[in-house]
Amino acid sequence: MTAPNGQYAYYPGCSLKASASAYERSAMAVLERLELRFVEIDDWNCCGATEYFSLNRLPAYSLVARNLALAAAQPTHELVAPCSACYLNLRKTDDHMRQEPKLKEQVNRALAAGGLHYEPGTLRVRHLLDVIIDDVGYEAIAAKVTRPLAGLRVAPYYGCLVVRPFESDDPEYPTHMDRLLEVLGATVVDFPMKAHCCGGHMTQISEDTAFELIRRILHNAAAYQADVIVTVCPMCQLNLDAYQGNVNRRFGTAFNLPVLYFTQMMGLAFGLQPEALGIGSELVPAQAALNKIGQVPAETPRHTPKRRDKDALPMPSRQRR
Amino acid sequence: MPEGPNGRTFYQRVVQATPGGKSLAQCLQCGSCGGSCPSGPDMDHSPRQLFAMIMAGMEDEVLSSNTPWHCVSCYYCTVRCPQQIPITDLMYTLKQMAIARGKYRESGHVDFSNSFIGMVERFGRSFELGLATRYHLTHNPLKMVSKGTLGLQMMVKGRLSPLPESIRNMPQLTAILTEAKRIAAQQEV
Ligand code: SF4
Ligand code: SF4
């Protein structure tokens, strides 16, 4: 079920070239093992994140459509983005241009000013998670596992945009990444907040709003005794990882939950070295958790008693395992 | 109902500026949207209330409500709405209209979006350090202190680039965006 000629147009997005370079590094290492060929779109531009659509929709669509036009010049119909926000913007622009002839005409008039054109429907826009699961499949992934993540308790965090509004799985309780992580040998914890919002750009605008959303997610993962939160989006990673300290200070909590990308988990299970996967660039260090699966050699395992939040609700899972 | 410049009501303008917006007419006022919203406590009006106000033509009240600005774009409401109303996209439309009419009160949000897009229009890429400094210096200089420490940690970890990266074909992108803005300016939102 891979792309007809085995090739995918790849849209990295700005984060993967900066704050989320670990995501790109690990994704590339894993894709090589899976023999998927990604060709980066030449001279791609920012997707506008959630900001441009709030200001002025026609330039917002046109900004995204330049990328679609450049991608459509590649000999493939598959376009892949690893960032959930980029994925949504690309897919939404294609979808809305298809739905609305007037929008299609106006966006193409703007593109024509730069000598470009995009015919909506030409590309199938997909998230990296969906490509790996649907095109490679669990069995083929299992066949590559050489160092199962046995004993590691992981909380699969999907966030919003990979499952909503375009539903690649259940939009409220998706499980396809759960299965992927199980195939890698990890213990997947129940995680009711798995598809809730990380706060998005609110960490920059309104900390009161953002920190509470982040707190709820961390609280939920800690209550289910996860060692690691696994994410599919650079924005989610940044919010849960980089702001975890702020959240602890604000709420008097002691969360110590490393947040890794699903591609880093795959790489570890495939026997790749942590450094080759960009592990170590997270602000909440993953080392203690990785010691558990013998991935990081010779370091005194840190004593991490399972914390119980004073305001935690009684969770049935405490008895379950 | 109060009418806009082209004889269209506020409701019609909202609907026409939103892909799939026509379904707003089918709103049941069931409240599933508000009940699903993680930002509910911060909002002046729940999405359901806002939609009733749009139907009632309360343009000023709707455009000065903080509700769309607190939308985190999580799409929970959209997938839960029994009438498949594109609620999140309606929030984007309302933000644009509030800016166009100068009605917004949430200047922090608008400044942030403007800083972000300023980077993109200049470099074709967003640039986190530039964004953080530019936005926080103009909007909330005190925040720079705490953001500064985080920025330093990020820099040490190699996650924050001190230099902006630019795309090669900026003239092409500029031409596209200029034309898009010209077309947008000809239409009323
Ligand atoms: S969920 Fe949909 S139908 Fe129900 S009140 Fe909200 S917009 Fe209206
Ligand atoms: S998309 Fe916006 S309005 Fe809808 S539930 Fe999420 S935050 Fe609330």
Dump pLDDT digits (tens) for B30-42.
Answer: 999 999 999 988 9
Q: What is the mean pLDDT of residues A98-107?
A: 96
What is the per-residue pLDDT across A39-70, written as a single tens digit (0 to 9) for each? Answer: 999 999 999 988 888 889 999 999 999 999 99
Q: Is B92 in the pocket of ligand 2 (CB under 6 A)?
A: no
- Nearest Cα residue to atom 6 of ligand 1: B33
Percent of chain B with pLDDT over 70: 83
pLDDT band at A226 (very low <50, low <70, confident <90, very high): very high
Instruction: Considering only the C-alpha atoms of chain A, give the largest distance between any 2 of them, rounded to a whole number of Å.
Output: 63
| Average model confidence (pLDDT) across chain B | 85
Structure tokens at A256: 């110590």
B179 contacts in chain A (CB < 8 Å): 62, 109-110, 112-113
Q: Report DSSP state, residue B39.
A: T
Return the pLDDT at A255.
97
B71 vs B162, more confident: B71
Please give the domain boundaries of chain B with CATH numbers for all domains. 5-105 (1.10.1060), 110-188 (no CATH)
Atom of ligand 1 nearest to the CA of B26: 3
Task: Give the integer Cα–Cα distance in Å for A20 and A24.
Answer: 7
Query: What integer best gives the mean pLDDT of chain A?
Result: 90
Q: Please work out whether the CB of residue B130 comes within 6 Å of at least one atom of ligand 2.
A: no
The residue extents of the domains of chain A are 7-129, 146-290
Q: Looking at residue A313, what is its pLDDT?
A: 47
Tens-digit pLDDT profile for residues A242-292: 999 999 999 999 999 999 999 999 999 999 999 999 999 999 999 989 998
pTM of this structure = 0.88
Pull the structure tokens for residue A165: 């509004």
Residue B62 has a pLDDT of 97
Quickly tell me which residue has 């000999």 as its tokens: A75
The predicted-structure confidence for A163-204, as pLDDT tens digits, reads as follows 999 988 889 899 999 999 999 999 999 999 999 999 988 888
- Model pLDDT, residue B134: 53
Nearest 5°: phi and psi at A157? -105, 115
For residue A3, the model assigns a pLDDT of 59
Interface of B with A in 54-93 (CB under 8 A): 70, 72-76, 78-79, 86, 88, 92-93
pLDDT in tens, B82-97: 999 999 999 999 999 9
Q: How far is the CA of B170 from the centre of ligand 2 (A)?
A: 34
Interhelix angle A84-99/A234-242, rounded to 10 degrees, is 140
Reported ipTM: the value is: 0.86
Q: Kindly state the average pLDDT of the residues B59-78.
A: 94
Q: Concatenate the DSSP letters of all residues of A67-105 into one string.
A: HHHHHHTSS-SEEEESSHHHHHHHHHHHHHHHH-HHHHH
Confidence grade of residue B156 (pLDDT, cut at 50, 70, 90): confident
Neighbours of A271 (CB within 10 A): 12
Amino acid symbol at A162: V
Cβ(B91) – ligand 2 distance below 6 Å: yes
Six-digit token pair at A31?
A: 């894709």
Any bridge partners for residue A38, and if so which?
A8
Largest CA distance in chain B: 58
Q: How far apart are CA B77 and CA B120, in angstroms?
A: 29
- A40 interface with B at CB cutoff 8 Å: no
The CATH number of A146-290, from 2.60.40.10, 3.40.50.2020, 3.40.50.11810, 3.40.1190.20, is 3.40.50.11810
Name the CATH topology of A7-129: Glutathione S-transferase Yfyf (Class Pi); Chain A, domain 2 (1.20.1050)
- At residue A302, the pLDDT reads 46
DSSP state at residue B96: H
Query: Among all chains, which residue has been given the structure tokens 């396809």?
Result: A176
Residue A260 has phi, psi (to 5 degrees) of -115, 160
CB contact set of B7 (below 8 Å; sequence gap of 6+): none
Q: What integer pLDDT is reported at residue B5 of this predicted model?
A: 54
Radius of gyration from C-alpha coordinates of chain A: 20
B140 lines ligand 1 (CB under 6 A): no
Q: Inform me whether the pLDDT recorded for A298 exceeds 70.
A: no
Is residue A300's pLDDT more than 90?
no
Is A286 or B142 the better-scoring residue by pLDDT?
Answer: A286
Determine the pLDDT at residue B130: 53
Q: Answer yes or no: do A19 and B146 touch at CB < 8 A.
A: no
Euclidean distance between CA atoms A63 and B126, whole angstroms: 13
> Which of B15, B30, B94 for a ligand 1 pocket mutation test, highest count of atoms within 8 Å of Cβ?
B30
